[in-house]
Amino acid sequence: MNFIKIKSKRPAAVPATAGQSGENHSRENHSGERPEGGRSKKYVLDTIGQVCPFPLVEAKRAIGDLRSGDELQIDFDCTQATDSIPAWASAAGHAVTDFRQIDKAIWTITLRKA
């Protein structure tokens, strides 16, 4: 599974360019099929330092551009988001595949798009 970092100040779900990561992260080839045999991709959205509700707002925007089965890892430090992101994900039908505290006031949650 590829990891593609999404900076929250960029437009939603814009993968790193080939020049930034040294790899080609295009989600489709010219035939419209997914590369690598249709495997899902994992995206990382860094919202650390953003106040609530922006981690949730950015997560909604980012996951909207992903394909079903892709994963979005959201790193955040907003305590309200520990409730709001899982509640929204559940209501939207996305699966929470990982949710943990990684530092004193930093959490990470991974969602699989429905």
Per-residue pLDDT band for 75 (boundaries 50, 70, 90) equals: very high
**Mean pLDDT across 47-73:** 97
Backbone angles phi, psi at 109, to 5 degrees: -135, 140
pTM of the predicted protein model: 0.72
pLDDT 10s digits, 34-54: 555 678 999 999 999 999 999
- Strand pairing of 95-103 and 3-7? unpaired
- Residue 38 has a pLDDT of 72
**Mean pLDDT across 72-78:** 98
Judge whether 78 counts as a catalytic residue.
no
Q: How far is Cα 108 from Cα 103, in angstroms, rounded to an integer?
A: 10
Per-residue pLDDT band for 1 (boundaries 50, 70, 90) equals: low
Q: Is the peptide bond before 55 cis (omega within 30 degrees of 0)?
A: no
- Residue 53 has a pLDDT of 96
**Mean pLDDT across 21-28:** 35
- Residue 34 has a pLDDT of 52
| Catalytic residue chosen out of the listed positions 16, 44, 52, 57 | 52
- Residue 30 has a pLDDT of 34
30 or 2: which carries more pLDDT confidence?
2
